[in-house]
Amino acid sequence: MIDRRTALAGVVGMFGAAAFAPLARAARAGRGSNVPAISEGPPSVAVFTPPQRALMTALSERVLPTTDTPGAIAAGVPAFIEKLLADWAKPADRVPILAGLDAIEARSLQDYAVAGAQATAEQQDALLTLAMNGQLPLGKAFFEAFRQLVIAGYYTSEIGITQEREYLPVPGEYDGAFPYSQVNKVYSA
């Protein structure tokens, strides 16, 4: 089975030079670099307050919601994000995420009179759109980093590798005339 670090390197390669710094650090770890491997278990420090954690969890599900496959929450993305920010991020790396969550929370209270985690899915989508379009303080920086964290967390999880994509450690024989209509999923190897 593919391990998370190998999958993370592939996901970070997709983001290229624009990869969020903690993701790039985690992908380089333990591969002959001077970056130590990440420890297993819970985060070394608490990154989020309980309201920030609830909002981050709700928003991660809005980025990759449950459809015919499990969403971000089922894939453990919120725990991945906190672990990555606790153990791989420098304090400055956390600023756009924490400030973005606080800005979204404030805007939710202003516009909807409800905490962001309790906002409806449509309201949360509208708040994420404001961040994406730079209409919140540090919104663009938050949105790009957060989106990368959610995507990396999802597609390096067991659910992302085995249920969203089809994992074949050794693909079968090459067939150049294979009908595209028979392709079920994108392969991850």
Are residues 9 and 30 in contact, defined by beta-carbon separation less than 8 angstroms? no
Three-state SS at 79: helix
In angstroms, the CA 107 to CA 127 distance is 8
Q: Which two tokens stand for residue 177?
A: 């005339």
* Sequence spans of domains, the chain: 4-29+48-166
Torsion, Cα of 112, 76, 40, 20 (10° steps): -60
Residue at token pair 């608490």: 46
Q: Which two tokens stand for residue 105?
A: 């929370």
59-95 CB burial, b ≥16 within 10 A, e <16? bbbbbbeeeebbbbbebbbbbbbbbbbbbbbeeebbe
Q: Tell me the pLDDT of the chain (189 aa) as tens digits.
A: 445 455 555 555 555 545 556 666 666 555 555 555 556 678 888 999 999 999 999 999 999 999 888 999 999 999 999 998 998 888 899 999 999 999 999 999 999 999 999 999 999 999 999 999 999 999 999 999 999 899 888 888 888 877 776 655 655 666 778 787 777 666 555
- Convert the pLDDT of each residue in 46-99 to its tens digit: 999 999 999 999 999 999 999 888 999 999 999 999 998 998 888 899 999 999
Q: Which two tokens stand for residue 168?
A: 């074949």
Residue at token pair 């708040």: 127
Instruction: Point out which residues pair with 188 in neighbouring strands.
Output: 167
Q: Return the percent helix, strand and coil in the chain, to nearest 5.
A: 60, 0, 40
Cα diameter, the chain: 58
